[in-house]
Chains A and B, each alone.
Chain A
Amino acid sequence: MDCKTARLLLDFHRPRVGELPADEAAALERHLASCPECDAVNRDARRLDDCVGPSIRDVPVPTRLRERLLTRLKDERRAKVHRKLAWAARGFAVATAAALMAAVILWQVYLKPTKVNLDQAFDTQRDKFDSPSPEHVEAWFQAQRHVTMVAPKQFDYAYLAEYDLAMLQGKPVPKLVFQRTEDTGITRAHVFVLNQEQFDIQTLPDDRNLLDSGGQHLDIKKDSPHRAYLIVYDGDKLDPLMRDIQAQ
């Protein structure tokens, strides 16, 4: 081993750490034994280490430091649990508040009985029968129900008893009720206005009496390929409610 290599290895020649492989440490020891200059450098470095090292390590440890550390760690664990519980409590409170708010909104919107608005109820009904005519009925549906419909023209609107949206197979459709009372009996017809957007009109049969269960009848009147009137009526026939009958 030459001096240059020895000087490099001296830095790693620390007996207590043992960073040099055994064979290199042995080679270095042999070199130091034969080289006074390198040996002097090594002894000088070791003397410095032996002088300064113990002094650096010589730090008095405070009494009961260990106990204080363990207590602090324990306190921190407890505090962490408390923090987690506090967060959980906050989360629970927020979730509860959100659920309550949702429940209130749900109740207000869907479950709470609607307060009767007398003005609105009166406005929607007061001019319903002022001047009954197909145009008047169509205008009412447009204004009050936002539905565009064509009222059947063949009926005599002097006998119009009621009209509004009604459910037919789960769909809201305009429905008109005509009624005529005579000495011979009452003729009443429920007219549903069907359109192609809601129902398949083209598959309906043309103008004919479909059902007859004795007291009640079902008729179809197709006004166009896209519109039809489904008429359920009682009485012997529909003629007393029709316009051309009135004209005679």
Chain B
Amino acid sequence: MGTPGRQRTVEQLVEDHYAALYRYAYRLCGAAADAEDLTQEAFLKAQAHLGQLRDPGRAKPWLFSILRNAYLHRVRADRQERRVPLDEVGDLAEPLPEPLPPVDPARLQEALNELPEVFRTPIILYYFEDFSYRDIADQMDLPIGTVMSRLARAKAHLRGRLLPPAPALLADGPRRATDGL
């Protein structure tokens, strides 16, 4: 029963995007079980509303957008987000050390979890690298300038949490984004 063409398309969407969608979900919520639930929920919604996907070439941002909405719905329901304020975070932190130490996965997820969702989503999408600023702005329904501002703050947060500053440069004090301009 059902629509064979639609089934094939949904299955094709799973084949093409399930891994990326799961990774995105994992980085958003920080737990494997929740990520799998979110991925499943996103594909179920995609199956139910497949007619809304006019351009098959935009399937990936469409699926990511569905997943984000599902995540936000859960977060609003749970009210469990614990976040750090980013008002005090500068656009750029201290210079990076040479060489860069390896990033600890647990600390990375912890640092992501500390970010409010409006900062976490753009940084995750940014590092997935298939998404342009325009894509991120569309998904979040924000101006590109706002996206870039949030990205800068989120990057600074990750940098501060994951990468210690170069000791030799610390004596000169922290740099700002406007240094040298």
Contact = CB atoms under 8 A, between A and B. Distances in A.
The 10 A-B pairs with the shortest beta carbon distances in the complex, nearest first, are A59-B23, A55-B103, A56-B127, A53-B127, A81-B1, A51-B100, A59-B26, A37-B180, A16-B129, A61-B19
Given A48-B159, A81-B1, A65 B18 contact: yes
Given A52-B162, A69-B40, A73-B14, A61 B22 contact: yes
Interface residues of A, number: 38
14 contacts: A49-B127, A53-B127, A55-B103, A56-B124, A57-B129, A65-B22, A65-B39, A69-B14, A69-B18, A73-B14, A76-B47, A77-B1, A78-B1, A81-B1
A19 interface: yes
A52 B129 contact: no
B70 interface: no
B40 A48 contact: no
Chain B interface mostly: helix
A81 B3 CA distance: 11
Given A55-B108, A56-B124, A77-B1, 6 more contacts: A52-B108, A57-B23, A57-B129, A58-B105, A76-B47, A81-B1
Contacts of B112: 56
A72 interface: yes
Contacts of A55: 103, 105, 108
A31 interface: no
A19 B181 contact: no
Contact of A69 (B32, B39, B127): B39
Contact of B155 (A37, A48, A61, A66): A48
Interface residues of B, number: 48
Interface of A: 3-4, 7, 11-12, 14, 16-17, 19, 37-38, 41, 44, 47-49, 51-53, 55-59, 61-62, 65-66, 68-70, 72-73, 76-78, 80-81
Given A3-B181, A17-B132, A72-B40, A59 B14 contact: no
Interface centre among A19, A48, A52 (most CB of B within 10 A): A52
A230 B18 CA distance: 94
A14 B11 contact: no
Contacts of A3: 180-181
A81 to B, nearest CB: 5
Given A19-B133, A48-B163, A81 B2 contact: yes
B36 interface: yes
